[in-house]
């Protein structure tokens, strides 16, 4: 497995590759990421995994500074999983126009960005303005660098997956997007790099988010169609159990628009904050697809 830090080395390494499979990540890899690598391996002859904590997708008060950076351990896991190339660029490789700013760190000067579709301002986008523009822009850059035939994204970030699929469609990119299922702890907790911010007790509590979504899914399967009341009840119960709910929302899985009576392919999405080890709050997201 090659570990590459520059775009020119990456292009040289990929020149003769007939079918490139790509898994973009921000590192701190867990079984969920490895599952995506396995899918890429089944669908391509050369698997590239990028590891880049993208400053453009973090808000000013978010965890960009503390996001876990574990390159060495990540590379060991990727080697064991059979990845061919790890692409781990630094910020100036990804954003060559970056400048240092004495008072508040770096200014990326990325004046051209991808404008995501309006759905990007709902759900996670409502409390993370600019997040999906940052994601779409870095993914477009990575697609241009890696030029994969297929790319694998996890369903855990359902809204992100939706926006990337839309970007590929609207920009006519010759890339097949494959969705990987969410990997979960035995408790139901969706695997996430941010789970590392939680101690054992907080991890136990964090399974309540998935339990709340499971409960809604069951109600939907039982024929309940009062979506607003299902959403409100779940949010109230979590808030009473020391969560700070951002949203619980029942949507059409195909359009991500609010569910309508009679919709058969639904997705129940949730985002909520839980107290963490560091004396702050960790924002967790999860979703469940429900076919009725
Ligand atoms: O899902 C992630 O880890 C990130 O949003 C991605 C797709 C690697 C872009 O930075």
Q: For ligand 1, is residue 25 a contact (CB within 6 Å)? A: yes
Separation of 218 CA from ligand 1 center, angstroms? 30
Q: For ligand 1, is residue 178 a contact (CB within 6 Å)? A: no
Question: For position 103, what pLDDT does the model report?
Answer: 63
Q: For ligand 1, is residue 159 a contact (CB within 6 Å)? A: no
Residue 49 near residue 97 (C-beta atoms within 8 A): no
**pLDDT tens-place string over residues 22-62:** 999 999 999 999 999 999 999 999 999 999 999 999 999 99
Looking at domain 193-291, does it have CATH number 3.30.1300.10? yes
Separation of 135 CA from ligand 1 center, angstroms? 6
Question: For position 106, what pLDDT does the model report?
Answer: 86
Catalytic residues: 33
The reply to whether 193-291 shares the fold of 2-180 is no
Architecture of domain 2-180: 3-Layer(aba) Sandwich (3.40)
Whether 105 has a pLDDT exceeding 80, the answer reads: no
**pLDDT tens-place string over residues 146-162:** 999 999 999 999 999 99
Question: For the chain, what are the domain ranges?
Answer: 2-180, 193-291
Mean pLDDT of 81-90: 98
Q: For ligand 1, is residue 57 a contact (CB within 6 Å)? A: yes
Question: For position 277, what pLDDT does the model report?
Answer: 81
**pLDDT tens-place string over residues 258-273:** 999 999 999 999 999 9
Q: How does the average pLDDT of the chain come out, rounded?
A: 96
Question: For position 139, what pLDDT does the model report?
Answer: 99
Measured from the CA of 164, which atom of ligand 1 is nearest?
A: 7
| pTM reported for the whole predicted model | 0.97
Whether 251 has a pLDDT exceeding 70, the answer reads: yes
Question: For position 137, what pLDDT does the model report?
Answer: 98
Question: For position 151, what pLDDT does the model report?
Answer: 99
Separation of 292 CA from ligand 1 center, angstroms? 30
**pLDDT tens-place string over residues 172-225:** 999 999 999 999 999 999 999 999 999 999 999 999 999 999 999 999 999 999
Question: For position 104, what pLDDT does the model report?
Answer: 61
Residue nearest to atom 5 of ligand 1 (CA): 135
Q: For ligand 1, is residue 27 a contact (CB within 6 Å)? A: no
Mean pLDDT of 124-141: 98
């Amino acid at each position: 497995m090659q570990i590459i830090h520059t775009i020119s080395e990456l292009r040289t390494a990929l020149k003769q590759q007939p079918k490139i499979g790509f898994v973009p990540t921000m590192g701190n890899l867990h079984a969920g990421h490895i599952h995506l690598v396995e899918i890429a391996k089944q669908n391509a002859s050369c698997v590239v995994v990028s590891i880049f904590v993208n400053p453009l997708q973090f808000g000013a008060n978010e965890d960009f500074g503390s996001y876990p950076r574990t390159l060495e351990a990540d590379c060991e896991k990727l080697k064991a999983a059979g990845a061919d190339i790890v692409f781990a660029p630094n910020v100036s490789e990804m954003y060559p126009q970056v400048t240092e700013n004495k008072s508040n760190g770096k200014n990326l000067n990325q004046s051209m960005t991808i404008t995501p579709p309006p759905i990007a301002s709902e759900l996670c986008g409502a409390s993370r303005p600019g997040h999906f523009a940052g994601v779409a822009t870095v993914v477009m850059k990575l697609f241009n660098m890696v030029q994969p035939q297929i790319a694998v994204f996890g369903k855990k970030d359902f809204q992100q997956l939706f926006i990337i699929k839309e970007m590929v469609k609207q920009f006519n990119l010759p890339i097949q997007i494959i969705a990987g299922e969410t990997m979960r702890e035995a408790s139901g907790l969706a695997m996430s790099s941010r789970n590392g911010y939680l101690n054992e007790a907080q991890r136990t509590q964090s399974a309540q988010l998935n339990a709340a979504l499971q409960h809604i899914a069951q109600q939907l399967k039982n024929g309940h169609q009062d979506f607003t009341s299902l959403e409100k009840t779940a949010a109230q119960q979590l808030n009473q159990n020391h969560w700070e709910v951002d949203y619980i929302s029942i949507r059409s899985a195909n359009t991500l628009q609010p569910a309508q009576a009679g919709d058969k392919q639904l997705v129940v999405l949730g985002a909520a904050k839980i107290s963490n080890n560091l004396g702050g709050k960790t924002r967790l997201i999860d979703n469940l697809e429900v076919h009725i």
